[in-house]
Amino acid sequence: MADFLDINKTSPEDLRAIIDTAQAMKIARQGAKRGTFDAEQPLSDHMVALIFEKPSTRTRVSFDVGVRQMGGQTMTLSGAELQLGHGETIADTARVLSRYVDLIMIRTFDESVLLELSEYAEVPVINGLTDRTHPCQIMADVMTYEEHRGPIAGKKVVWSGDGNNVCASFLHAAGRFGFDFTFTGPHQFDPEDAFVGEARRAGSKVTIERDPVKAVEDADLIVTDTWVSMHDSQSTKERRHNTLRPYQVNDALMAHAKPDALFMHCLPAHREDEVTSSVMDGPNSVIWDEAENRLHAQKAIMRWCLGV
């Protein structure tokens, strides 16, 4: 059994095996009635705890459905119900949960909560998102790109906007899957130097380009994410919008990429802010496949963690 904490903490061979399993499981379900169980039931007699300190739509539904499709059962817990680190320590919570469940997925704020939970849990732990990284999303993104365009190795991926937690996991993936990565955005929103340096040391060409038009030249994939958090104040939202406006992904920007360049967004999106509706709903957008593939990628991750 193994934890899935971050892409850079998982070997390239295991990451490829997860993607291949996800693709095979998706193909096996094609044509099947939606909501049916998988023919294989690898999580039969398994209980999975889904912990949400941060609210979620895609993560919650995709993990819950994925577990059920594979024959397992879920226990969904909110941060208010557990109050991790308040009263009972995270370490003690990890020890207790390990006596009840076979796998823990946590979506939290501070990365330290994830790491402490993993250190003391006796069952595998999956990173459903922290303020620093979002590895499950990027596994789905790699899967989606390869469904449409073949191997992502050697391709040029461009991130436009805020170098946030999703961007960080893309940099982890660049080093593991062998693609080049360009970040375009204001300097105050650059991804962490540690993420950039690690991708470069792994052999990925990582470029910081302030001009979004130059950045997307010869791009195979353009990605963005929301500019604001639900927790930001109104003044912070306005300030971020004004600063990031030049990095909106619109038809004019997409026109400077390769004609067949794909567009991705992990959702939820703020239409007409970080991306226009014409791009989201356009022929190069694969956002709905990307959202669906969270289900398949995470099912494969759970199987890998449990060795089933």
Joined tokens for residue 246: 């030049």
Catalytic residue from among 46, 176, 240, 294:
294
Active site residue 167: no
Catalytic residue from among 46, 132, 137, 240:
137
* Amino acid at site 194: A
Active site residue 137: yes
Q: What angle do CA 220, 280, 126 make, to 5 degrees?
A: 75
Q: Is the pLDDT of residue 2 over 80?
A: yes
Residue 285 bridge partners (DSSP): 263
Task: Compute the distance between CA of residue 164 and CA of residue 274 in angstroms, rounded to an integer.
Answer: 13
Task: Compute the distance between CA of residue 140 and CA of residue 241 in angstroms, rounded to an integer.
Answer: 28
Catalytic residue from among 266, 273, 296, 298:
266
Interior/surface letters 70-96, b for 16+ CB within 10 angstroms, e for the rest: bebebeebebeebebbeeeebeebbee
* pLDDT tens figures, 227-245: 987 667 788 889 999 999 9
Which stretches of 6-164 are assigned E, i.e. beta strand? 47-52, 73-78, 103-107, 125-129, 156-160
For the entire predicted model, the pTM comes to: 0.96
Active site residue 266: yes
* pLDDT tens figures, 7-50: 999 999 999 999 999 999 999 988 777 667 898 899 999 999 99
Catalytic residue from among 134, 172, 176, 265:
134
Report the C-alpha dihedral over residues 169, 175, 178, 184, rounded to 10 degrees: 60
